[in-house]
Structure 1
Amino acid sequence: MDNYVKVSRPSQPTLISQITMKEMESLLPTDRFIRVHRSFIVSLDSIDKFSNRRIFLKNYDKYIPVGRTYNDSFNNLYTIFKQNDK
Structure 2
Amino acid sequence: MSVSVSIKVRRELVELADKMVRYGIARSRSHAFNIMIEKGLKEVVREVEFWEDVLRRVEELERQGFRLRHGGLSRVLEEDRGR
> TM-score scaled to structure 1, two decimals?
0.29
Give 1 or 2: higher helix fraction. 2
Q: Which has the higher relative contact order, 1 or 2, with Cα contacts under 8 A spaced 6 or more apart?
A: 2
Give 1 or 2: higher strand fraction. 1
